[in-house]
């Protein structure tokens, strides 16, 4: 008697998932790694933090609608917490890699930049001092923008192009474009909303 073929007479195996843009997007959204990144618009003189997909950290300035790449980690700036080995900690305006002396022991301490923190609530009589200014004159770390983001240049390498090859189609699906960074001016928060933007903050140095 001939042997049974694999799974013959048993419960049939589930059908493989069809390769479609929608299915690929669902898969990507479930496995997307998010990261909190900083953006700075030189034209509008404002910066903000946004939780974005780690592999494509792009955000839009809500004032001029320019798309920007996130600042490199080594160019992040703002308010930082300095935790000294002596146990003392202090807060001040700073930028990545800029040391400030501990007010208790004098040791040079690197900061931890705090996303979405725009003000220093507890102020002391001590004068601001860091490597950038050495306590003299106006510290560059207190300027509205220490660094600016580079305008985003779309490469067109989205999921939709893998399936349909329509990267050059100006009428490509808004849903696909929004999900992977091809934003529309009237809906600049689409990519953040899709991945549940948990924390958004802006520092705006100009009043409307």
**Model pLDDT, residue 29:** 64
Residue 188: pLDDT band with limits 50, 70, 90: very low
Over residues 118-163, the pLDDT tens digits come to 888 777 788 899 999 999 989 999 999 999 999 999 876 555 444 4
**Rounded Cα gap, residues 99 and 130, in angstroms:** 6
| Residue 40 CB partners (closer than 8 Å, separation 6+) | 46, 47, 68, 71, 145, 147, 148, 149
**Rounded Cα gap, residues 94 and 81, in angstroms:** 9
Higher-pLDDT residue of 71 and 188 is 71
Over residues 35-57, the pLDDT tens digits come to 999 999 999 999 999 999 999 99
Instruction: State pTM to two decimals.
Output: 0.63
**Secondary structure of 12-64 in HEC code, one letter for each residue:** CCCCCCCCCHHHHHHHHHHHCCEEEEEEEECCCCEEEEEEEECCCCEEECCCC
Taking residues 78-96, report their average pLDDT. 95
Percent of the chain with pLDDT over 90: 51
């Amino acid at each position: 008697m001939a042997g049974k073929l694999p799974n013959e007479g048993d419960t049939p195996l589930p059908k493989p998932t069809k390769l479609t843009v929608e299915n690929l997007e669902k898969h990507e959204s479930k496995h997307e790694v998010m990261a909190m990144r900083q953006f700075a618009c030189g034209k509008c003189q404002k910066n903000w933090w946004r939780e974005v997909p780690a592999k494509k950290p792009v955000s839009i300035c809500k004032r001029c609608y320019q798309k920007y790449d996130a600042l490199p980690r080594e160019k992040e700036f703002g308010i930082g917490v300095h935790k000294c080995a002596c146990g003392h900690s202090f807060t001040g305006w700073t930028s990545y890699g800029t040391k400030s002396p501990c007010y208790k022991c004098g040791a040079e301490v690197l900061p931890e930049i705090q996303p979405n923190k725009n003000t220093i609530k507890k102020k002391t009589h001590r004068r601001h001092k860091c490597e950038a200014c050495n306590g003299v004159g106006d510290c560059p770390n207190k300027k509205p923008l220490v660094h600016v983001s580079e305008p985003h240049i779309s490469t067109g390498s989205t999921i939709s192009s893998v399936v349909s090859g329509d990267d050059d189609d100006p009428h490509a699906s808004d849903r696909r474009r929004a999900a992977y960074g091809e934003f529309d001016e009237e809906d600049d928060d689409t990519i953040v909303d899709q991945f549940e933007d948990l924390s958004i903050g802006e520092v705006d140095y100009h009043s409307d």
